[in-house]
Structure 1
Amino acid sequence: MRIDKYLWCIRVFKTRSIATTACKKGQVKINNSSVKPSKEVFSNEIILVRKNQINYQIKVLDLPKSRVGAKLVDLYRKDITPKEEFEKTELLKFAKDYYRKKGSGRPTKKDRRDIDNYQDDID
């Protein structure tokens, strides 16, 4: 089975065209080498998928005949992603230091002057 079809069948990607695009961009690797969307997948291979700034590691258990329901996905793959990958996203959330709360609107005149003064100090 093709890698793009496999990732679509086990619901890693919502559509097959998104899976194909991810393969072309180099976000999908098998045994640490980038693959084309037409690469064949076999049992016991480890697939690395970079999605939403997380490097998912998936072990192929079996190949489905077609797209499977969400409850049956674990029959065909095993998620071996380390917990550190998910902790990195939590750290990214805390690392973003927003001056303004999200959705609070455009900068005020005072904010604009502060930004201009800051840029003048840098130059």
Structure 2
Amino acid sequence: MRIDKFLKNSRLIKRRTVAKEACEQGRVKVNDKEAKPGTEVSKGDIIIIEFGTRRVKVEVMELKDHVTKDGAKEMYRTIE
């Protein structure tokens, strides 16, 4: 699954276009490498997102195409 789609489906970022822009600006890393919007993610990958001064680090637990609001939290595990 593409990183921009994962961020939207997991509700870490509200819209896919915002997720795409964050990747293009270098604010998203997958396994310590800068991620482009088309970067593929899989179970066990570590994602780091920088929101201004805040930094979120999560591990990918599941990949789902269609998710409910409650199910979105099961897609990742917060590390930091």
Fold-level match, TM-score > 0.5? yes
Larger Rg: 1
Alignment partners' CA distance in 2, 1:54 and 1:69: 26
After superposition, the C-alpha distances for 1:71-112 in whole angstroms (9 at most, x for unaligned) are 21222110111xxxxxxxxxxxxxxxxxxxxxxxxxxxxxxx
Map of 2:55 onto structure 1: 55
Alignment partners' CA distance in 2, 1:8 and 1:64: 11
SS of 2:65's equivalent in the other structure is coil
Map of 2:76 onto structure 1: 77
Map of 1:44 onto structure 2: 44
TM-score between both structures, scaled by the size of structure 1: 0.62
Q: Which runs of 5+ in 2 are unaligned?
A: none
**Matched letter for residue 71 of structure 2:** L
Alignment partners' CA distance in 1, 2:32 and 2:70: 28
After superposition, the C-alpha distances for 1:4-58 in whole angstroms (9 at most, x for unaligned) are 0000000011110000000000000011110100000000000000114211001
Counterparts in 2 of 1:20-35, with a 5 A limit? 20-35=20-35
Q: Answer yes or no: is 1:9 the counterpart of 2:9.
A: yes
**Deviates further, 18-27 or 51-60:** 51-60
| Higher helix proportion | 1
| Higher strand proportion | 2
**Matched letter for residue 26 of structure 2:** G
TM-score between both structures, scaled by the size of structure 2: 0.93
Q: Which runs of 5+ in 1 are unaligned?
A: 82-123
Moved over 3 A (4+): none
Alignment partners' CA distance in 2, 1:56 and 1:30: 12
**Matched letter for residue 70 of structure 2:** K
Alignment partners' CA distance in 2, 1:3 and 1:51: 16
Map of 1:120 onto structure 2: none
- What CA RMSD, in Å, does the superposition of the two structures yield over aligned residues? 1.0
For CA contacts below 8 A with separation 6 or more, give which structure has more relative contact order. 2
